[in-house]
Amino acid sequence: MSVSKLKQRVVRHSPSTGAGSPDVWGVYEPDTGSIQYICADPATKQAALIDVAWNFDPKHYRFSTGSMDQVLDIVKENGLTVAWVLDTHPHADHVMASAHLKQVTGAPNAIGALVPKIAQIWADIYNMQGVFEPARDFDHLFEEGETFKLGDLDVSVMLSPGHTLGSITYVCGDAAFTHDTLMQPDAGTSRADFPGGNSSELWESIQAILALPGDTRLFVGHDYGTKDRDEPAWEATVAEHRANNKHVKDGTKREDWIKIRDDRDATLALPDRILAALQINLRGGRLPPAEDDGRVYLKLPVNYFGKD
């Protein structure tokens, strides 16, 4: 019997569709169902790395670089130059590679302008005041509506709260990197129950994304397959989502979706990496400083999450 591709690293190239359109590579990370992206200008070969992860073993608390090495190999094989290291939000289920990639590539790293508010929420949860300083650990904090260049291509930033209060979407030509808002059409949408999340705000963010032109390629942040599909997928157009997304296709009522989302979220456990990941991600992917024994330690709140 063949091994499900949901258990394997999978790479796919979504080629440019013409002038103003980027090349996109998606790299599936099977341990967390995350997709890492390379978005590149075909003309100048300037590239942005989006939501790239460290590999983290939560059983042994060990880190490795297999996934980001795979991303960097694709960059090298295609003659690309990394111009930006980007994240869409402080991830709860994987550890961002931002700081390491900045060091390796020399490219500036960036995330959304509301991440300091997320940092304060988690500083209170961890009782770690003054530790998280996104303005220190990221070279740029993108505002809603801000634009920047990727080679000859224009990239715009959409604030897309709901999964977190400061999530952002990057729109580059006919490609949009929509992170933890939409899943694939056969899977629906993403959760909104983490601290600072809000299903009503997520609905509005999804509607703004689905108002993009119908041929816009939407690249989602996660895929876990479905009962009918054991191969990862992460690309569908706005038109395909509006016609077929099981949660938010055209005609879906806001209040019905919010109830479905809230009811579903109430059954979900925390990701097994969240308490480690966020105190690293809110440092831009840097580990805490080593202590006097040369080892690095993380702090975990006890009896904070879960039912009494």
For the segment 197-234, what is each residue's pLDDT rounded down to a tens digit? 999 999 999 999 999 999 999 999 999 999 999 999 99
Q: Is 2's pLDDT higher than 60?
A: no
Q: Which amino acid is at 288?
A: P
Q: Is 88's pLDDT higher than 60?
A: yes
Proportion of the chain above pLDDT 90, given as a percent: 95
Residue 219 CA to residue 90 CA, distance in Å, equals 18
Q: In the predicted model, what is the mean pLDDT of residues 36-47? A: 98
Proportion of the chain above pLDDT 70, given as a percent: 98
- Give 107's DSSP letter: -
Residue 1 pLDDT: 37
Three-state helix/strand/coil letters over 275-307: HHHHHHHCCCCCCCCCCCCCCCCCCCCCCCCCC
Q: Is 16's pLDDT higher than 90?
A: yes
Q: Can you list the domains of the chain with their CATH numbers?
A: 9-281 (3.60.15.10)
Q: What is the pTM of this model?
A: 0.96
What tens digit of pLDDT does each residue of 155-176 get?
A: 999 999 999 999 999 999 999 9
Q: Is 6's pLDDT higher than 90?
A: no
Q: In the predicted model, what is the mean pLDDT of residues 233-262? A: 98
Strand partners, 29: 34
- Which residue do the tokens 């390379």 mark? 38
8 A C-beta contact, residue 80 and residue 146: no
Residue 4 pLDDT: 75
Q: In the predicted model, what is the mean pLDDT of residues 139-163? A: 98
Residue 3 pLDDT: 53
